[in-house]
Chains A and B, each alone.
Chain A
Amino acid sequence: GENVEQHPSTLSVQEGDSAVIKCTYSDSASNYFPWYKQELGKRPQLIIDIRSNVGEKKDQRIAVTLNKTAKHFSLHITETQPEDSAVYFCAASKGTGGFKTIFGAGTRLFVKA
């Protein structure tokens, strides 16, 4: 069935370093790829998204890249700060046939001060 694989499951970086989280999706019809951040005990919140007609999108310190051929997309966080510590989820969805959203298993990011 459709699935989204996310790596790594845990990532620890030093404050100021960059962090990269990678996801691979199986359904080639997927055309929308959001990233959600979930702080401890809180609800997931969208931080950035990308559509299949775009290869890269940037918003301040975060960026997402998409490789449709490889069915692979990544989240890049530069100049990490302690408040970036959270669980990050990638997801993939498609419009045709319904609006199912498949999430990755999540990456727990620790930013050490």
Chain B
Amino acid sequence: EAQVTQNPRYLITVTGKKLTVTCSQNMNHEYMSWYRQDPGLGLRQIYYSMNVEVTDKGDVPEGYKVSRKEKRNFPLILESPSPNQTSLYFCASSPRTRWIANTGELFFGEGSRLTVL
């Protein structure tokens, strides 16, 4: 089954304790992206990746890191989480490529609800 898998789905942590949210897709997509969803603000893009070893900042990258060492995986790293990073996080992948401008829907994972105390 084609899917995007995120882990953990729920996490409560404390300020400053490093954490990683994993994301894996089995659709051989080149494009992957992370979003955070907050009430009244919609989905805001954190980072995206066009391919292995190629990543770019979205609109709200501060406090986050990503890596793309393999095509299928795109982990989101919070080096020193703070309470303002409490949010619902979505990973997504897409068949869009640099050579096919703006085609392809975003396939979202189920979301990871993170609470930072």
Q: Which of B56, B101, B108 contacts A44 (CB 8 A)?
A: B108
Give the interface of A toward B (CB within 8 A): 1, 6, 9, 31-32, 34, 36, 42-46, 49, 51, 89, 91, 93-96, 98-106
Q: Which of B11-19, B35-43, B73-81 contacts A (4 or more CB under 8 A)?
A: B35-43
B106 touching A102 by the CB < 8 A rule? no
Q: A99-B31, A100-B45, A104-B42 in contact; A46/B59 too (CB < 8 A)?
A: no
A101 to B96, CA, bound (A): 12
Q: How many angstroms from the CA of A49 to the CA of B56 in the assembled complex? A: 24
Q: What is the size, in residues, of chain B's interface with A at 8 Å between Cβ atoms?
A: 26
Which residue in chain A gives the minimum CB-CB distance to B44?
A: A103
Chosen A-B contacts, 11 in total, with CB atoms closer than 8 Å, are A31-B102, A43-B108, A43-B110, A46-B105, A91-B43, A95-B98, A99-B48, A100-B59, A101-B106, A103-B35, A103-B45
Measured between beta carbons, the chain B residues less than 8 angstroms from A6 are 42
The 3 nearest A-B residue pairs measured at CB: A95-B101, A32-B102, A46-B105
B40 nearest CB neighbor, chain A only: A105
- Determine the chain B residues whose CB is within 8 A of the CB of A32 once the complex forms: 101-103
Chain B residues, Cβ within 8 Å of A98: 48, 50, 56
Whether A101 contacts B45 in the complex (CB less than 8 A), given A49-B105, A51-B102, comes out as yes
Smallest distance from the beta carbon of A79 to chain B beta carbons, Å? 24
Q: Closest residue of chain A to B102, judged by CB?
A: A32
Nearest CB on A from B58, distance (A): 6
Instruction: Please tell me which one of the listed residues B50, B101, B110 contacts residue A31 in the complex, with CB atoms under 8 A apart.
Output: B101
Q: Bound complex: CA of A105 vs CA of B109, how far in Å?
A: 19
Give the shortest distance, in Å, between B21 (CB) and chain A (any CB): 15
Contacts of B35 in A (CB 8 A): 103
Return the chain A residue nearest B48 by Cβ. A99
When distances are taken between beta carbons in the complex, the residues of chain B under 8 Å from A34 are 105-106
Query: Other CB < 8 Å A-B pairs besides A100-B45, A106-B42, 6 of them?
Result: A44-B90, A44-B108, A98-B56, A99-B48, A103-B42, A103-B44
